[in-house]
Amino acid sequence: MISLLDAFLSPVRGLALVFSPGLRRYVILPLLVNVLVFALTAWIGSRYFAEFIAWALPQEGWLHYLEWLLWPLFVLAYLLVTFYTFTVVANLIASPFNGILAARVEEKLTGRLPPDAATGLMDEILPAVAGEISKLWYFVVRAVPVLILMVIPGLNVVGSVLWVLLGFWFLALEYLDYPMGNHHLRPAEQRRRLRAHPFRAWAFGAGANLLMMIPVLNLAAMPASVAGATRFWLALDHRKNG
């Protein structure tokens, strides 16, 4: 239970890391990207929220009688769709900076840079963008069947639950990729290692998602989650090798 709580709180604890001396300069550009993309995503999401709820819980449908129970679930599912869209776009743009940030956070925590850390921004751009596209494809392949369930009356409840779990898993993979990639771990190996700790991975993803939903703090959610993921990964790796 303590390990799950620690994983859940890792993104929040990352806030203190990214604004500590020596790391602030690596956060400025990702933070600006975060603010701009989040503002655009929030504006678009707010425009279609009422339409989504009316579609998911129609007044004449049998699910209307369970509205008090299902409304929070569908709201969470909608927010996750919105925030994952924001996460994909923001991380695609800021991915070169995130890898460098993860390396510098590790240096601050351990006193040394990871072995596969980029030496400069130009060295990081192409691998980082390629990595983001690969993660996006991994997510889309698994998200499509879940989204299909969400549009089938009666099964949309199951689809919404699966969507939440898939979303937490995606956020864990998204942010843990940066510190793990700095240690020569390719995507397949990253997923294999996280599958050994699925509940901790879900807990981390839930913590990152919660941070995205807190006004003002959500603007720093991306760099904070990168820093928190680095801290989380170091603890997992130390536990594995300890």
**CA separation for the pair 52, 183 (Å, rounded):** 42
**Best-predicted range by mean pLDDT among 1-15, 76-90, 136-150, 164-178?**
164-178
Q: What is the pLDDT of residue 149?
A: 84
Are 221 and 208 spatial neighbours (Cβ–Cβ below 8 Å)?
A: yes
Torsion of CA 69, 75, 78, 79, to 10 degrees: -140
pTM of the model: 0.75
**CA separation for the pair 123, 146 (Å, rounded):** 36
pLDDT digits (tens, 9 = 90+) for 48-98: 666 666 665 555 554 555 555 555 666 666 666 666 677 677 777 777 788
